C-alpha cells in the first residue's frame, strides 16, 4: 500500500521551553525512526501552509486573530499553564492544518491509500474557541470539515486513542451527527472529560480506561463499543487522532499499551475504512512524550499503514 507522510521542518521550531513534555525532540524522534530502511517506500511530502478558511470551519475568526496577535517576536508566552507560544508557533500550527487537509485531499484523490501527518503542536484538546492542552488548532476536526466542505463526504469518523480525552474534538462536534467521535483514554485524567454518558447527539462514543489498563482492556473497548459504532455509522472517511502516550513508558499517564496494541488498532481501523470508506484513512500525530515509546509506537503504526 502507498502511504504518504506529511512533514515540515517548521514543526521543530515551535518552542515550548526547558522541561516541557511537548518539545521539538518529539518530532525529531518520529522523523528519525521513519528514516529507517523499513520505511524507504514511504511517499514523503512537505506539509503546505493551511488556509484560514479551513480553520474558520472549526474555530471562529476572532479566536484565530487573537491567537495570531499573541505570538511573541522573541521568547515565549503562555496561553495557559500548559500551552506555550513562541515566534514560529503560528506558522507551525498553520502547516499542521495544511498537512491535515492535504492528507484528506490525497486519499480522496487516490494519490495514496492512506496518509500519516507527523506534525506538532498536536490538536485534539483545542476547543472551538479555546487553545489548551498543548494544542492551538484542532487538526482532526479541521480535516473532517474539509472533507465535507471541499470533497462532499457526508459522514466522517474520528477515532482518538490518545491517553488524554480529546475534549476539543468532542466540543466541536457535540451537536453534529454527521461526525462520529470515538475515544479511548485514561480516566480520571486531564482534561476531565470523556465519561461514557457524554454522548452528544448519539455521535460521541467514549470508552474510558482505568489507570493500569493495558492492551486487553483497550482491545475490548474497541471490540465492544468503538468498532460496532463505526460499522453502524458507515463513515466515508476515517481519521485517527494517533496519540502514543498510552504507551507503558509514557510519563504523563498510567496505561500500559505496547507497540503491538497500536499495530492491532491500526489494522482494525483500516478494515473499517475498507468496508465503508473505499479505504480512505488519514492519521494525525497527537501526544506521546517518552521519546523511545513514541518512536517505536509510531513505527508500528506507520508500518501497518504501509502494509495493510
Per-chain mean pLDDT for the chain: 98
DSSP 128: T
Active-site positions? 125
Local confidence band at 217 (pLDDT 50, 70, 90 cut-offs): very high
Quote the CA–CA distance of 128 and 201 in Å, as a whole number. Answer: 17
pLDDT in tens, 164-202: 999 999 999 999 999 999 999 999 999 999 999 999 999
Share of the chain above pLDDT 70, in %: 100
CA distances from 76 to 72, 87, 103 (A): 6, 7, 30
* pLDDT at position 126: 98
- Residue labelled with grid coordinates 522523523: 31
pLDDT in tens, 31-66: 999 999 999 999 999 999 999 999 999 999 999 999
pLDDT in tens, 81-96: 999 999 999 999 999 9
pLDDT in tens, 235-259: 999 999 999 999 999 999 999 999 9
Count of CB atoms within 10 A of residue 274's CB?
Answer: 15
pLDDT beyond 90 at 7: yes
Quote the CA–CA distance of 207 and 197 in Å, as a whole number. Answer: 10
* pLDDT at position 156: 99
Average pLDDT over residues 121-137: 98
pLDDT beyond 90 at 1: no
Q: Evaluate if pTM is beyond 0.85.
A: yes
Domains of the chain are: 3-307 (3.40.800.20)
* pLDDT at position 191: 98
Closest C-alpha among 242, 282, 239, 237 to residue 261: 242
pLDDT beyond 90 at 268: yes
Average pLDDT over residues 279-300: 98
Average pLDDT over residues 65-72: 98
Average pLDDT over residues 276-296: 98
Amino acid at each position: 500500500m502507498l502511504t504518504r507522510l506529511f512533514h515540515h521542518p517548521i514543526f521543530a521550531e515551535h518552542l515550548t521551553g526547558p522541561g516541557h513534555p511537548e518539545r521539538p525532540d518529539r518530532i525529531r524522534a518520529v522523523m528519525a525512526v521513519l528514516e529507517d530502511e523499513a520505511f524507504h517506500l514511504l511517499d514523503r511530502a512537505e506539509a503546505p501552509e493551511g488556509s484560514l478558511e479551513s480553520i474558520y470551519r472549526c474555530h471562529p475568526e476572532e479566536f484565530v486573530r487573537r491567537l495570531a496577535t499573541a505570538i511573541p517576536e522573541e521568547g515565549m508566552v503562555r496561553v495557559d499553564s500548559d500551552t506555550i507560544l513562541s515566534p514560529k508557533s503560528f506558522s507551525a500550527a498553520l502547516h499542521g492544518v495544511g498537512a491535515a487537509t492535504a492528507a484528506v485531499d490525497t486519499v480522496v484523490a487516490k494519490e495514496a491509500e492512506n496518509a500519516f501527518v507527523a506534525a506538532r503542536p498536536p490538536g485534539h484538546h483545542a476547543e472551538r474557541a479555546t487553545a489548551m492542552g498543548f494544542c492551538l488548532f484542532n487538526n482532526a476536526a479541521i480535516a473532517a470539515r474539509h472533507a465535507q466542505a471541499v470533497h462532499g463526504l457526508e459522514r466522517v469518523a474520528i477515532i482518538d486513542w490518545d491517553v488524554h480525552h480529546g475534549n476539543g474534538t468532542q466540543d466541536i462536534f457535540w451537536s453534529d451527527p454527521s461526525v462520529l467521535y470515538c475515544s479511548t483514554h485514561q480516566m480520571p485524567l486531564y482534561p476531565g472529560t470523556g465519561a461514557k454518558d457524554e454522548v452528544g447527539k448519539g455521535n460521541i462514543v467514549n470508552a474510558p480506561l482505568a489507570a493500569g489498563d493495558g492492551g486487553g482492556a483497550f482491545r475490548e473497548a474497541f471490540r465492544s463499543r468503538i468498532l460496532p459504532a463505526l460499522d453502524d455509522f458507515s463513515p466515508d472517511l476515517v481519521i485517527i487522532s494517533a496519540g502514543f502516550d498510552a504507551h507503558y513508558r509514557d510519563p504523563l499517564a498510567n496505561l500500559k499499551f505496547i507497540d503491538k496494541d497500536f499495530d492491532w488498532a491500526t489494522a482494525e481501523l483500516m478494515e473499517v475504512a475498507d468496508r465503508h470508506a473505499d479505504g480512505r484513512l488519514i492519521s494525525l500525530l497527537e501526544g506521546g512524550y517518552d521519546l523511545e515509546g513514541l518512536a517505536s509506537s509510531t513505527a508500528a503504526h506507520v508500518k501497518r499503514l504501509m502494509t495493510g
